[in-house]
């Protein structure tokens, strides 16, 4: 009994050790996004609150938490409050299987990739419910768009994952990373280059980020599915969206960029060895792409998004599944030592 | 052939990468932002801000109550009453400008034969009570006294064009 209690407490401590830094990372990522987009617009971005504006995100959080949550007339109260939680919980739960370093993973399960697919697909329920429960046309439109978009890009994303699975021969994320060991050229980005691009772009579409942000589409449907949300309920959606972005950045690093592995040979001492910091650095670079995209590209039209998903990404991904199979069959790409 | 190159172009995301290159180049450019309360943009010597009434160096007020400014004011913002002073000179007993009516056109300054009513560089001011928008003669003179050096410098710079 005591041992079980200790196990629960220990697991809880580990969960907190992942979730708390993640929430801080989300706050800093929001700040970094505003800074980077500001720089790309040739302005400064937030620079008033705290040194260099570093406390801006925390000030915003404090503001949001103190705001009133307005429930629209005839909204379904239960679903209205359930929706942001349904959006956030999968976004946080997905982090359970992320291997931060060799052996440093909360749940080293063999179906890690399946679990991830399940969790990232769950998030869309929060969005659909939010749109439906709000009793607002804009919210409903945003939710419908988001649902269609996420379902379409899930397929391309899944096929890109299949390529990784074929080459790594495992569904376990830690095994996928170790299969890439052996230096920069052994990482899966090289044999699966189109798939790495397809995966990341699908990830951008899955998280409803610019240029695929028709679900929010400020200029068309105000804020889309979360138009009726305010205060801490809105903060939860915000947190979920950014946690998902960071998750996609980590996943892209793990699946295609060698996870915690170092790009340098092991003889180079400290920087030659794989560590959490390599994963962090890779994820940071990938996450920067999200911001870069947002500052660079205008929003896709809705039918163009569908065309890109169904008529471009899925055919390419299907072809590359075959290519990956051939690469594996003829031992051109063998899992690393 | 054209079709093939077009397909290749879009598949390799060439145009998108070009766009990203542009935004990346802009990221490192010097920023246009003026950090306003700490920094100010340079103002022209013809800047038309808050009004002031000037004095001669001996302390005598310039205004001779000719009421040209009152007549020329397109917004009817200026109100002047005049009467002979103890020494027999005509002076204003009341010189008020309603800053809510004023459109800062600068006609009063141009019409003034003795360079008395001027518009200064001051554009940061506020009112806390109803009625403070009407600035009175003592207030205008005080503004003139306070910013005389700036006012004179701006007029000297513009002297060749007047």
d(CA A288, CA A282): 10
The shortest C-alpha distance from B25 to chain A (Å) reads 8
**Closest CB to A43 among B20, B28, B33:** B33
| Closest among B87, B144, B75, B83 to B115, alpha carbons compared | B144
| Ramachandran assignment for A135, one of left (phi > 0), alpha (psi -120 to 50 degrees), beta (any other) | left
Alpha carbon distances (Å) from B1 to A316, B5, B105, B144: 21, 6, 64, 77
pLDDT at A337: 45
Yes or no, beta carbons of A39 and B24 under 8 Å apart: no
d(CA B22, CA A309): 26
- Summarize pLDDT for A59-99 with one digit per residue, the tens: 988 888 898 888 888 888 888 889 898 889 998 888 888 88
> Is A266 a residue whose pLDDT tops 90?
no
**pTM for the whole structure:** 0.81
The chain A residue lying nearest B19, using CA atoms, is A296
Q: What angle do CA A322, A323, A329 make, to 5 degrees?
A: 90
d(CA A180, CA A254): 9
The answer to whether A114 and A37 are in contact (CB under 8 A) is no
The shortest C-alpha distance from B2 to chain A (Å) reads 19
The single residue listed with the structure tokens 């401590």 is A13
* SS3 of residue A104 by DSSP: strand
> What is the DSSP-derived secondary structure letter of residue B1?
-
The chain B residue lying nearest A198, using CA atoms, is B11
How far does chain A reach from its first CA to its final CA, in angstroms? 42
Alpha carbon distances (Å) from A14 to A20, A118, A250, A328: 10, 22, 18, 37
Q: A137-168 and A112-133 are packed helices; what angle lies between their axes, rounded to 10 degrees?
A: 170
d(CA A60, CA A30): 10
Give the percent of chain A with pLDDT over 70. 99
Yes or no, beta carbons of B22 and A296 under 8 Å apart: yes
| Closest among B149, B122, B150 to B135, alpha carbons compared | B122
Identify all chain B residues contacting A44, using CB atoms and an 8 Å cutoff: 31, 33, 35
One DSSP character per residue, B93-160 reads EEEEEETTT-----HHHHH-TTS-EEE-S-------STTTTEE-HHHHHHHHHHTHHHHHHHHHHTGG
* H or E segment to which residue A83 belongs: helix A77-93
d(CA A166, CA A155): 16
Identify all chain A residues contacting B28, using CB atoms and an 8 Å cutoff: 39
Give a three-class secondary structure readout of B37-85. Answer: CCCCCCCCCCCCCCEEECECCCCCECCCCCCHHHHHCCCCCEEEEEEEC
Main-chain phi, psi angles of B45, to 5 degrees: -70, -10
How far does chain B reach from its first CA to its final CA, in angstroms? 69
- Summarize pLDDT for A145-178 with one digit per residue, the tens: 888 888 888 888 888 888 888 888 888 888 888 8
- Any CB–CB contact under 8 A between B26 and chain A? yes
**Closest CB to A40 among B13, B27, B35:** B27
Yes or no, beta carbons of A297 and B19 under 8 Å apart: yes
A–B interface: beta-carbon pairs under 8 A? 34
- Summarize pLDDT for B10-57 with one digit per residue, the tens: 778 888 888 899 999 998 988 888 888 888 888 888 999 999 999 999
Neighbours of B39 (CB within 10 A): 8
**Confidence class for position A206, pLDDT limits 50, 70, 90:** confident
**Closest CB to B20 among A41, A42, A296:** A296
The answer to whether A160 and A317 are in contact (CB under 8 A) is yes
The chain B residue lying nearest A313, using CA atoms, is B11
Which residues are CB-contacts of A255 (< 8 A; sequence separation ≥ 6)?
A161, A164, A176, A188, A196, A199
The shortest C-alpha distance from B143 to chain A (Å) reads 33
> Is A120 a residue whose pLDDT tops 90?
no
> What is the DSSP-derived secondary structure letter of residue B92?
E
> Is A182 a residue whose pLDDT tops 80?
no
The shortest C-alpha distance from A48 to chain B (Å) reads 10
- Any CB–CB contact under 8 A between B23 and chain A? yes
Residue A95 CA from chain centroid, whole number: 10
* SS3 of residue A248 by DSSP: helix
- Summarize pLDDT for B67-100 with one digit per residue, the tens: 999 999 999 999 999 999 889 899 999 999 999 9
The answer to whether A49 and A56 are in contact (CB under 8 A) is yes
The shortest C-alpha distance from B121 to chain A (Å) reads 27
**Closest CB to A43 among B22, B23, B32:** B32
d(CA A132, CA A140): 5
pLDDT at A336: 56
The chain B residue lying nearest A42, using CA atoms, is B31
The shortest C-alpha distance from B77 to chain A (Å) reads 39
Long-range Cβ contacts of A277-286 (<8 Å, 24+ apart): A279/A100, A279/A101, A279/A250, A279/A253, A279/A254, A282/A253, A282/A257, A282/A258, A283/A246, A283/A249, A283/A250, A283/A252, A283/A253, A284/A249, A286/A200, A286/A248, A286/A249, A286/A252, A286/A253, A286/A257
Residue A53 CA from chain centroid, whole number: 25
Instruction: Report the DSSP beta bridge partners of residue B134.
Output: B98
- Calculate the CA dihedral of residues A173, A176, A181, A184 and round it to 10 degrees: -90
ipTM: 0.73
Identify all chain B residues contacting A295, using CB atoms and an 8 Å cutoff: 23
The answer to whether B31 and A42 are in contact (CB under 8 A) is yes
The shortest C-alpha distance from A308 to chain B (Å) reads 11
**Confidence class for position A334, pLDDT limits 50, 70, 90:** low
> CA A198, A109, A151, A288 torsion: positive or negative?
negative
Yes or no, beta carbons of B31 and A292 under 8 Å apart: no
Yes or no, beta carbons of B23 and A295 under 8 Å apart: yes
Yes or no, beta carbons of B32 and A42 under 8 Å apart: yes
B 44-83 → A contacts, CB under 8 A: none
Q: What average pLDDT does this structure show over A256-274?
A: 77
pLDDT at A335: 63
């Amino acid at each position: 009994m005591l041992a079980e209690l200790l196990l629960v407490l220990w697991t809880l401590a580990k969960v907190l050790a992942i979730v708390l830094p993640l929430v801080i990372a989300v706050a800093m990522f929001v700040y970094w996004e505003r800074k980077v987009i500001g720089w790309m617009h040739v302005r400064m971005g937030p620079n008033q609150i705290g040194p260099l504006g570093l406390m801006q995100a925390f000030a915003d959080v404090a503001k949001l938490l103190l705001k009133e949550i307005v429930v629209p007339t005839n909204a379904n109260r239960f679903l209205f409050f359930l929706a942001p939680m349904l959006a956030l919980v999968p976004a946080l739960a997905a982090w359970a299987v992320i291997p931060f370093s060799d052996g440093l993973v909360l749940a080293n399960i063999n179906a890690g990739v399946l679990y991830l697919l399940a969790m990232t697909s769950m998030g869309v329920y929060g969005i659909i419910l939010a749109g439906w429960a709000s009793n607002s046309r804009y919210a409903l439109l945003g939710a419908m768009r988001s649902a269609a978009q996420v379902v379409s890009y899930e397929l391309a994303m899944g096929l890109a994952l299949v390529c990784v699975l074929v080459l790594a021969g495992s569904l376990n994320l830690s095994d996928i990373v170790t299969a890439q060991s052996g230096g920069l050229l052994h990482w899966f980005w090289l044999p699966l280059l189109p798939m790495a691009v397809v995966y990341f772009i699908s990830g951008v579409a899955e998280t409803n980020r610019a240029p695929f942000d028709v679900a929010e589409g400020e200029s068309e449907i105000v804020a889309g599915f979360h138009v009726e949300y305010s205060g801490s309920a809105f903060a939860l959606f915000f947190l979920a969206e950014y946690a998902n972005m960071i998750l996609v950045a980590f996943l892209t690093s793990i699946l295609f960029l060698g996870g915690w592995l170092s790009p340098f040979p092991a003889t180079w001492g400290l920087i030659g060895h794989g560590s959490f910091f390599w994963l962090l650095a890779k994820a940071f670079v990938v996450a920067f792409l999200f911001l870069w995209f947002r500052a660079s590209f205008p929003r896709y039209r809705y039918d163009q998004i569908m065309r890109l998903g169904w008529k471009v990404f899925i055919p390419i991904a299907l072809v590359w599944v075959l290519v990956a199979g051939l690469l594996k069959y003829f031992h051109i790409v063998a899992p690393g030592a | 052939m054209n079709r093939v190159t077009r397909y290749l172009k879009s598949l390799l995301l060439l145009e998108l990468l070009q766009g990203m290159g542009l935004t990346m180049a802009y990221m490192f450019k010097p920023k246009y932002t003026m950090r306003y309360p700490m920094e100010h943009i340079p103002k022209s010597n013809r800047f038309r801000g808050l009004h002031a009434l000037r004095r001669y160096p001996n302390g005598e007020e310039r205004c001779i109550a000719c009421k040209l400014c009152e007549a020329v004011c397109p917004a009817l913002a200026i109100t002047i009453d005049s009467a002979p002073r103890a020494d027999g000179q005509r002076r204003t007993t009341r010189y008020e400008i309603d800053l809510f009516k004023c459109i800062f056109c600068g006609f009063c300054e141009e019409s003034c034969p003795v360079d008395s009513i001027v518009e200064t560089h001051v554009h940061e001011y506020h009112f806390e009570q109803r009625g403070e928008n009407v600035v009175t003669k003592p207030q205008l003179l005080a503004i003139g006294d306070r910013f005389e050096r700036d006012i004179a410098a701006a007029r000297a710079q513009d002297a060749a064009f007047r």
